[in-house]
Structure 1
Amino acid sequence: MKHAAAVSRKFRNAASIAQAHTAPLLPGGFFLTDPARVKDARAVASRLPDGIGVIIRHFGQADAIEDAFAIVSDCQRAGRVVLIGADPDLALATGADGVHWPFRMRKHLQRHKQSLGLLHTMSVHSPAESHAARAYPVDALIYSTVFPSASPSAGTPIGLSRFAATASNSPVPLYALGGISAANVEKAARFGGFASVSAFEALL
């Protein structure tokens, strides 16, 4: 429990630092759910400190879609920002605050942005994608991979200095994803927001 409390303080402090670089309606950090990697996303979300939002990614799994309603409800009661990954219909059905889009689905974002009137974030994986994303109506970008990561989808890490340079030139808030941990999150928060799938499991 002491370890979990220490981790919580680290992420709460980092979220407070990151808030200087994010928009008023956005949190300092995000917990990204993943049915294959996080066994109990609802339990993790319930332990998040203030300043951390949730991005629910169901990847078409029925159980994860069902859980989304409960997680959104929990987040609403906690006053926590919650987005749905790549599913505007589910975002509307659950009452989520917005939609998170993979870069490959950017044209869908263009189509839905005005009709939904919700927050929209997008994943990017290179300076080229980060630059191309400027053509789309996003409220923030989540940039991967920043630190070395064991995730199967992680690419070559760009490092903190390149993330900082990209964040300083971005017209919208940039969140660091990939290899985020309690040990480095405050470093990332000096330049932008942060996001993680597995790091928040240390709160349990």
Structure 2
Amino acid sequence: MNVSPRPPLPQGPYLLCDDSIRPELPLVDKAGRLLEGGARVIQLRMKHAPPREALAAARAVVALCRRAGAVCLINDRVDLALLSDAHGVHVGDEDLPPEAARELLGPGRYVGVTARGTEGAKAARAAGADYVGVGPLFGTTTKVVAAPVLGLEAFRRVVADSPLPVVGIGGVGLSNIASVAATGAHGAAVVSDALLAQDIAERVRQLAAAFDSARGTGL
């Protein structure tokens, strides 16, 4: 029985609002365009913003997401998540341990964890996580990942065996998001394919339509 005070993370595209892609476009503008396209989950990733700028951006993006009824997660930074009233955090291999993130955030916010397989998903659940981002699914140039490409078949097995909802990460875009959805994945993280699109909002709509059409079909 689900006794979590947190509702399940919305299914579908999981959009990253990243300060390293199109840095000339302010983060709040990127978030606004993602939300215009119907984004239901946004992860705010700020690797280059100075602390005060990062806090201001986090507060602005969280406010936009809350008005739109979307979930906003902060990458890595539990302090920024608390100060901006974000819905939660996503922590990776070298970030704050998920147990510590849960301790600081309490029971009412999301904690997502990067995992490389089923054992990582089980450990994440034991640590109090709500979902896992599993990958890299495909080759990606957005960030350097010290892990081999998983591929769809291995990913499908992780989805089937994971005790937590699984979000596919790494190299996901319009050309392959349907194949990720067909594995039964809860979501698919998209970064550059959305933010580099000429019309960001329209690309988000296309991604959502592709994911929804193939969700759990097993194709």
TM-score by length of 2: 0.73
CA contact (8 A) 1:83 1:91 kept: yes
Instruction: Return 5+ residue gaps in structure 2 as ranges.
Output: 1-6, 201-219
> For residue 161 of structure 2, what is the aligned residue in structure 1?
169
The residue that corresponds to 2:16 in the other structure is 32
Pick from 125, 129, 132 the counterpart of residue 120 of structure 2: 129
SS of equivalent residue, structure 2 residue 86? coil
Hey, what does 2:40 align to over in structure 1?
52
| Aligned residue among 189, 192, 199 for 2:193 | 199
**CA drift at 1:165:** 0.8
In structure 2, distance between residues paired with 1:153 and 1:38? 18
Taking only aligned residues, the RMSD between alpha carbons, in angstroms, comes to: 2.2
Matched, 1:65 2:55: yes
Q: Distance in 1 between matches of 2:148 and 2:135?
A: 9
| Distance (Å, rounded) in 2 between the aligned partners of 1:151 and 1:87 | 19
Which structure 2 residues correspond to residues 108-127 of structure 1 after superposition, within 5 A? 108-113=100-105, 115=106, 117-127=108-118
Do 1:109 and 1:136's aligned partners in 2 also have CA atoms closer than 8 Å? Answer: no
Give the direction of change, closer, same or farther, for the CA distance of 1:81–1:110 in structure 2 (3 Å limit).
closer
Q: Separation in 2 of the partners of 1:43 and 1:81? A: 17
Shift of 1:87: 2.3
Q: When the two structures are aligned, how many residues end up with a matched partner?
A: 181
Higher helix share: 1
Do structure 1's residue 93 and structure 2's residue 87 form an aligned pair?
no
Shift in Å, 1:177: 0.7
Structure 1: which 5+ runs fail to align? 1-22
Q: Distance in 2 between matches of 1:127 and 1:24?
A: 20
**Higher mean Cα deviation, 62-71 or 124-133?**
124-133
Tell me by how many angstroms 1:102 deviates: 1.6
Asked whether the 8 Å contact 2:44–2:73 carries over to 1, the reply is: yes
TM-score by length of 1: 0.78
Q: Secondary structure at the match of 1:145?
A: coil
Task: Indicate if the aligned counterparts of 1:27 and 1:81 stay in contact, CA closer than 8 A.
Answer: no
Per-residue deviation at 1:51? 4.7
Secondary structure of the corresponding residue to residue 33 of structure 1: strand
Q: Is the alpha carbon distance of 1:27 and 1:46 closer, same or farther for their aligned partners in structure 2, counting shifts above 3 Å?
A: farther
Counterparts of 1:186 and 1:45, CA distance in 2: 23
Structure 1 vs Structure 2: percent identity of aligned residues? 28
| Counterpart residue type for residue 49 of structure 2 | Q
Cα deviation for residue 128 of structure 1 reads: 4.1
